[in-house]
Amino acid sequence: MPIRVLPDFLINQIAAGEVIERPASVVKELVENALDAGATQIIIDAVDGGRTLISVIDNGHGMSKQDLSTAILRHATSKLPSDDLTNISFMGFRGEALPSIASVSSLTIDTCNGKDSNGWTLIADTNEIKPSSWETGTRIRVNNLFSKTPARLKFLHTDKAELLAIVDTVKHLAMARPDVGFTINNKWYFNKDQDLLERIISVMGEDTRNNMIEIDAFSKSSDMHLYGFISQPTLHRASSTDQYLFVNNRPVKDKLLISALRASYMDVMHAREFPLCALYLDLPSRNVDVNVSPAKTDVHFLEPTHISGFIIKNLREALSKTLNQTISDNIQMDVSIQPQPQTTFCVCEPKVSVKDWFGDYGPTVATQKDSPDIYQETINEFDLPLGRVIGQLGNKYILAENKDGLVIIDQHAAHERITYEKLRTHKMLTQPLLTPIIVNLKAEDVIAVLSASEYLKNCGLTIDSFGDTAIAIFEKPAEWDLNWEQCLKEMADEIKEYGNSVKLSEKLHLKLANYACHHSVRAGRKLNYQEMNTLLRDIEKTEHGSECNHGRPVYKKITITELDTLFERI
């Protein structure tokens, strides 16, 4: 078959297949154009899930007659002031959006730039431009989407599903620009000029109020800025629906960022739970390539490992700064408080020694003993974060009183976190192997695993290549009997997809978490005053002390004001 040049209408339809997947794709392109035009208010309407009509109205700059006639030409754009594709500072930049939409629908544009004596209307089907009474900004109407390629209609979902996809798309754009107002079908409203936290509440839900942690971190060496909010570990979703990630203010679904977010919560949240976030990463445009996919949701970083480490480090530090630790820091400034001994309340003796994992460096598992009051009399427990013990409820919960009101502590969750943190901070015992374990892998998987050799070393696993298609394990964590072939294959898959892997850390976390759970004081056990008091003082000094390593809350506080309300005193 001879080579031929395709006709323009077919080229546009092929381009549309890359850019316009569903009605939500149309909305994304049109709203991004509106934002780039300086709009502060955008109104979106979708009829029949966007099949019959999509209308986007903005109050942006508008277009002249000349710009309007050029707008529907392929690869025409106002988003690139120069020919440098590495210097892209707009939401949208690809030139085929409008001609692609016009090739699969009936497209009409009404616009006015405020300089011409009148507005203009473009009917894309006939390329006709005529004067109009449109006064400001731009309105784009997309009628009968995919009417020119009807085979694609059968791949659309129900009208409701397509509408929800549009709403989700607009939510991401609304999170990118909290200064802009958005209205969808006169039903979903996001007011303009909201601060970021208020926009988060309006997009993600009222339960985020008072449950988000602010992030604000700089890297002077790389000129990077990470900012936004992440959820407290006790606030999570069953899916990633409320994870909003942005690179240079562009909404992305980048695998590297998602992996870094997951790794940051590994010690404080169950693997099947998803944190909420609105995270913004700003970095020089030369260090990121946004021209990767037509949908513009994937990006390539110049230094992915450095970026991942920067994010994980700062998110973990933020998660460590829990409320009780902040208060404890202030309290510990009191010179009258002396360093305290280790925990002395009783735990069950483990069936497997901690030394099997950590050797002589492991923590001491305390046994019950009688001891005098270990706290100096100068300490007023009433002023401590978790207060003074007043009793035990149902042999499950410790009741305490502080200056603000009542504190209820889950005794098992508290001791579980204390035990886990002690295990985590001690050196792991490793086992050199007389005969290396040989794991056969594909050549590309060997390369991927070797790229993470330093990470594996920190997890107790020493490896090297064994030819081009195998990995040799020379040292492993003591008492670990994993399916190493499966583990390394899963690691290789993660590295190839995300650029890094936390697979072995997750397995270590799970092992320590299970140990901590099984060897911590149980619900149903009666504790004496000394045991309860020691538990409270220890959890105040423990990292991530406000939640157990499964993400459940360790304690809840009820203020005097809330109690007064319950008893109708207010």
185-201 residue pLDDT tens: 999 999 999 999 999 99
| Range 381-395 average pLDDT | 89
- Look at residue 218 and tell me whether its pLDDT is greater than 80: yes
Q: Which residue has the higher pLDDT, 174 or 303?
A: 174
C-alpha to C-alpha distances, 210 to 81, 213, 237, 324, 409, nearest whole angstrom: 43, 9, 16, 15, 20
Mean model confidence pLDDT for the chain: 82
pLDDT at res. 379? 60
Using pLDDT thresholds of 50, 70 and 90, give the confidence band for residue 123.
very high
For residue 8, the tally of other CB atoms under 10 A from its CB is: 11
Structure token digits, residue 422:
């002690």
Tell me, what DSSP letter sits at residue 379?
-
- The pLDDT tens digits of the residues spanning 326-337 come to 444 444 433 333
- The pLDDT tens digits of the residues spanning 469-486 come to 999 999 998 877 788 888
Nearest-5° angle of CA 454, CA 459, CA 460?
Answer: 95
Using pLDDT thresholds of 50, 70 and 90, give the confidence band for residue 294.
low
Q: Which of 7-21, 38-52, 359-373 has the lowest mean pLDDT?
A: 359-373
C-alpha to C-alpha distances, 387 to 42, 341, 371, 566, nearest whole angstrom: 51, 19, 21, 22
pLDDT at res. 96? 59
- Look at residue 545 and tell me whether its pLDDT is greater than 70: yes
The one-letter amino acid at 565: T
For residue 429, the tally of other CB atoms under 10 A from its CB is: 18
- Look at residue 356 and tell me whether its pLDDT is greater than 90: no
- Look at residue 139 and tell me whether its pLDDT is greater than 70: yes
CA-derived radius of gyration, the chain = 29
Structure token digits, residue 114:
């405020």
Structure token digits, residue 453:
């050799």
**What kind and span of H or E run contains 217?**
strand 212-219
pLDDT at res. 16? 58
Residue among 422, 411, 407 nearest 534 (CA): 411
CA distance 68 to 122: 7
- The pLDDT tens digits of the residues spanning 402-451 come to 999 999 999 999 998 888 888 777 677 888 999 999 999 988 889 889 98
- Look at residue 322 and tell me whether its pLDDT is greater than 80: no
- Look at residue 118 and tell me whether its pLDDT is greater than 70: yes
Residues of the chain with pLDDT > 90, as a percent, come to 43
pLDDT at res. 291? 65
pLDDT at res. 266? 83
